[in-house]
Structure 1
Amino acid sequence: MAAILSALDSTTTTSTNTTATTTRTTSACQKLVPQCCSLACFHDGISQSSLGRSKSSVSEINNNNNSNNNSNHNMTDCNVEIPGTSQRRFRHSRENVADHYRMRLVVPLLLRWSMLAVVLVLLRGRNLAMVMVNHRPTYQSVGSIPQLWLVKDIRKTVLKDKHPWLFDRAVRGTPDVPAGGVVGVAWKKETLAFGFYDPTSPLRVRLLSWPKDGEAHPEDQRWLRQRSDDAAARRQGDSLLRCCTGVRLLNGEGDWMPGIVLDAYGSTGVVAFDGEAAEAFWRPRLPDILAAFAAAGFVLSGVLKKGGGELVWGTPPPEGSAVFEENDVKYEVDVRRGHKTGFFLDQRENRRLLRKMAAGKEVLDLFSYTGGFAVAAALGGASRTVAVDAAGPAVRACRRNYELNGLQAEVIEKGQGLGLSTSQHQLYVADCWEFLDEACRRGDSYDIVVVDPPSMAPKEQLRNKALKAYIGLNKGALKILRPGGLMISCSCSSHVTRGDLLQVVQEAARQAGRAVEIEAEGSAGSDHPARRGFPEGDYLQALYVRVLSS
């Protein structure tokens, strides 16, 4: 390369150079031009029309070359035989040769510099280079702990926000670790956090501890004791739970213990593991967790696994449903086959508020399940309560909850129609959308309507469909509210934000032709903590919407 550049520089000398210098330049050009022409043909492609000149053109060029051989002109004729062109010749001036072949050198020089830049990048990111060469993810170990690597720099999410979830697209590595095994998560040479690994789930790692904060390793008993003691102390010091025997003891990510939920109904516990990896990690640690809660006054005799009632720890509870108390209201709960862990404990505070404002009011509870809102309103002095749910077993359990609290309620089975019952407390087995349409046609009206549907957006792809359904429900509820009436509109999906629900209410009010105002907002109970940096944990939204008299 240095020789080529030196030779090319020599071709730029002016016409005042001596004859000897011209001769040396001509000789160097004759040596280099075939190489450069070949390079140019391959890199830039000299046109076939240039290489395929007619025989007469070639002859004319040769004649002109012969006539100028003995001339003292300052032009240098470079007669070059290009392989495969059968005596085809080019003639270039000294200046044109230099300009022409300098351009032919630009591309290879740029290629070389680009290759050098790539090499430097790969040398700096040795791990990335290893992945590119081997075409498979890799991992390293910190001591005996396998180490996964972040695909891109999301240290703010991991270290500052401390979001507990890392999806498969965010990390690289295929460590030989079973589901629930502890792994480290690193960026370059720095280990950022530790979590348990799930090789089959899109949610690949749930983060547990952060060494920069001085936290113990998750396999250290001190880490588990600290997490359990913190969760137990939070419930022990909560004045809102003093009149409750139905309590969420562990709220997963909200208590910095992702993948596990533990609810207590009296002395019976129900545990929910979010996947096989979560169960593999948490189940062996459950006895130590329960010991921490027992020391804080939350003593359980047995713990069942959600969905099926498998005994996980202790002695099995009696057959049938368990009973617990919430602010002097008694509820029956199916701890073996009920929704969630058997009851919607997260709505405790909203039930308490409804009971305070229900006196003398007619209250409609849509999607009532086992009657949490309806029973609270009845005990609060409601003049009439109506509970509606499509599941017959849930409606009959609702009646038992009325009876537990000394109240009588009538069950109206599906198809029997509205307006036939004269009972103070009526329980309908019916589709809620159909019930609202029929009530609107009949001209029925209520003072308070609770709209608390199950999650209609369990994943992001269903969000838009869910919002349309929410609008329809809220519109129907607003239509049958009396002037000055109150709608309690709820959503329990993390994919539907508080802002989404506000827009739903605004659109429903517009379609229903009602003027409304937001009187208050509600959320999950205090035993369902949500932590900063994890918005998915703030899943329960409740809006208290007042219909204006005008």
Structure 2
Amino acid sequence: MNSDFGRFFCYNLDMKKIIVKAQAAKRLKNGYPLIVAEDLVEEGVLEGFVAIYDQKQQFIGKGYLSKQNKGMGWLLTNRDEPINQAFYEEKFEKAKTIRDSFFSDQQTNAFRLFNGEGDGIGGLTVDFYANYAVFSWYNPFIYLNKLEILTAFSNIYPEICGIYEKIRFSNQDNIESQFVSGQRASEPLIVTENGVHYATYLDKGLMTGIFLDQKNVRGALADGLAAGKRMLNMFSYTGAFSVASAFGGSIQTTSVDLAKRSLEKTSEQFSVNDIDPATQKIYVMDVFGYFGYAKKKELTYDLIVLDPPSFSRNGKKTFSVAKNYGELVEDAIDILDDFGILICSTNAANVSRKKFHQLVSSALTKKNVHFDIFQEEHLPKDFHVAETFPEGDYLKVLFVKIRK
């Protein structure tokens, strides 16, 4: 691996001064953590720790600059304090205290330990998988401080068995995932959530096999929402929603995803819960193609989950939540039984909660059906969101009862 990624940065010597514009200064003084290019008075992007001042030379706080898919830097503190191991330990300790109840939950042992800017360090998340930690680094500079951060983490979490990492920015070695320290996890590592088992792989690319932010939705399915229903899971990935539904008493589940691996992965998830995959239906095909197939075969469902990626391309056809989610809803209505339930979900950052409501409601109105949004989910509590950064609550899920 590139030696730069292992460097230990001296936070005092590298602390540079930047000036931000008036509107940005007001936001940052109120604790808004994200810094974007338009905030800076001087052009020319630098990378590293920064002391932030307004145009009247008043101190605002300290943070760092480093390009990532979300902005170009983060405010870490409004105090004039060093950003060092003790600083990181304080953040990890506070985050651990917030999640105290999760460690004693006998039904769940996979959750988020540290949620980036929500817990005070933008650009870094840490997930807990049955006593293993998975770090996700979102920009080069936070990764350069890896050794100090990992030391701080290990001091607060001495009980962690092993650490893995996901590198979610471009690097010259093209590394996405790797084991870091401690003992290696079994493959698969079986975790439990709401009493349901899931097979996870901590060192197989950027994804582990389960999206932890959908815990509450899977919980609703496992707790009886899917009981007695024929359930359709579109964009099913490893079939986690399907497994939760089967666990919760669904008559039968149908999982549809274009990725070839989805057949093997979904079958595995059923098997680790002692559910015979042969009793369920798993299709490897284009989701929009399946709508046509289901209509032709006169297949209908009592419950349909729509959780597409924010953007995807299949051949010449592209899908984006902002432009095409309404079409997805309309197609689902055609194969949903009367008094059926739609679970509409997205993590698209460019679609606000209000806009998502409009996309879903407009599509249902166009189909001339009566509907009731009877439940709404945000991120679960372990995905701690800062009050000063509400857009950090990116997950939007609507539970909709349909009457035709």
TM range (shorter): 0.7 to 0.9
Indicate the structure (1 or 2) with the bigger Cα radius of gyration: 1
Measured in 1, the distance between the counterparts of 2:273 and 2:155 equals 33
1:396 matches 2:264: yes
Measured in 1, the distance between the counterparts of 2:42 and 2:347 equals 35
Match of 1:164 in 2: 33
Match of 1:228 in 2: 92
3-state SS, counterpart of residue 547 of structure 1? strand
Q: State the Cα distance separating 1:157 from its structure 2 match.
A: 0.7
Match of 2:21 in 1: 151
Percent of residue pairs identical: 25
Correspondence list, 1:86-105, <5 A = none
1:546 matches 2:370: no
Match of 2:58 in 1: 190
Match of 1:286 in 2: 150
Q: State the Cα distance separating 1:202 from its structure 2 match.
A: 8.3
More helix as a share of residues: 1
**Which letter maps to 2:196?**
V
Higher RCO (CA < 8 A, seq sep 6+): 2
- 1:175 and 1:386, CA in 2 relative to 1: closer, same or farther beyond 3 A? closer
Measured in 2, the distance between the counterparts of 1:499 and 1:486 equals 21
- Can you list the C-alpha shifts for 1:282-337, whole angstroms capped at 9, x where unaligned? 4431121133134xxx623232335643222323334x332211122111112222
Q: State the Cα distance separating 1:437 from its structure 2 match.
A: 2.0
3-state SS, counterpart of residue 22 of structure 2? coil
- 1:268 and 1:335, CA in 2 relative to 1: closer, same or farther beyond 3 A? same
- Can you list the C-alpha shifts for 1:488-528, whole angstroms capped at 9, x where unaligned? 00011111111111111122112323221111101222111
Match of 2:360 in 1: 505
Aligned residues of 1:260 and 1:282 also touching (Cα < 8 A): no
Out of 341, 345, 355, the residue aligned to residue 486 of structure 1 is: 341
3-state SS, counterpart of residue 203 of structure 1? coil
Measured in 1, the distance between the counterparts of 2:241 and 2:134 equals 22
- Can you list the C-alpha shifts for 1:247-286, whole angstroms capped at 9, x where unaligned? 2111111111110111122233221100211211344311
Measured in 1, the distance between the counterparts of 2:60 and 2:359 equals 40
Match of 2:192 in 1: 325
- Can you list the C-alpha shifts for 1:38-79, whole angstroms capped at 9, x where unaligned? xxxxxxxxxxxxxxxxxxxxxxxxxxxxxxxxxxxxxxxxxx
3-state SS, counterpart of residue 386 of structure 2? coil
1:300 matches 2:165: no
More strand as a share of residues: 2
Aligned residues of 2:263 and 2:284 also touching (Cα < 8 A): yes
Aligned residues of 1:367 and 1:389 also touching (Cα < 8 A): yes
Correspondence list, 1:263-278, <5 A = 263-278=127-142
Q: Which runs of 5+ in 2 are unaligned?
A: 1-11, 168-174, 313-317
Out of 386, 389, 400, the residue aligned to residue 531 of structure 1 is: 386
Correspondence list, 1:41-440, <5 A = 145-160=15-30, 162-173=31-42, 179=47, 181-187=48-54, 188-198=56-66, 203-211=71-79, 216-219=81-84, 221-238=85-102, 241-294=105-158, 299-306=160-167, 308-318=176-186, 320-355=187-222, 356-410=224-278, 424-440=279-295
Measured in 2, the distance between the counterparts of 1:200 and 1:260 equals 11
3-state SS, counterpart of residue 216 of structure 2? helix
3-state SS, counterpart of residue 154 of structure 1? helix
Q: State the Cα distance separating 1:199 from its structure 2 match.
A: 7.0
Measured in 2, the distance between the counterparts of 1:517 and 1:406 equals 35
| TM-score, with structure 2 as normaliser | 0.86
Q: Which runs of 5+ in 1 are unaligned?
A: 1-141, 411-423, 458-462
Aligned residues of 2:190 and 2:199 also touching (Cα < 8 A): yes
Measured in 1, the distance between the counterparts of 2:107 and 2:204 equals 26
Aligned residues of 1:521 and 1:542 also touching (Cα < 8 A): yes
| C-alpha RMSD of matched pairs (Å) | 2.7
3-state SS, counterpart of residue 76 of structure 2? strand
Q: Name whichever of 427-436 and 466-475 sits farther off.
A: 466-475
- 1:145 and 1:309, CA in 2 relative to 1: closer, same or farther beyond 3 A? closer
Match of 1:96 in 2: none
Aligned residues of 1:270 and 1:341 also touching (Cα < 8 A): no
Match of 2:9 in 1: none
3-state SS, counterpart of residue 203 of structure 2? coil
Match of 2:303 in 1: 448
Measured in 1, the distance between the counterparts of 2:35 and 2:325 equals 31
Matched residue pairs, number?
380
Q: State the Cα distance separating 1:351 from its structure 2 match.
A: 0.5
Match of 2:6 in 1: none
Aligned residues of 2:111 and 2:127 also touching (Cα < 8 A): yes
1:520 matches 2:375: yes
Q: State the Cα distance separating 1:200 from its structure 2 match.
A: 8.9
| TM-score, with structure 1 as normaliser | 0.64
Q: State the Cα distance separating 1:438 from its structure 2 match.
A: 1.8
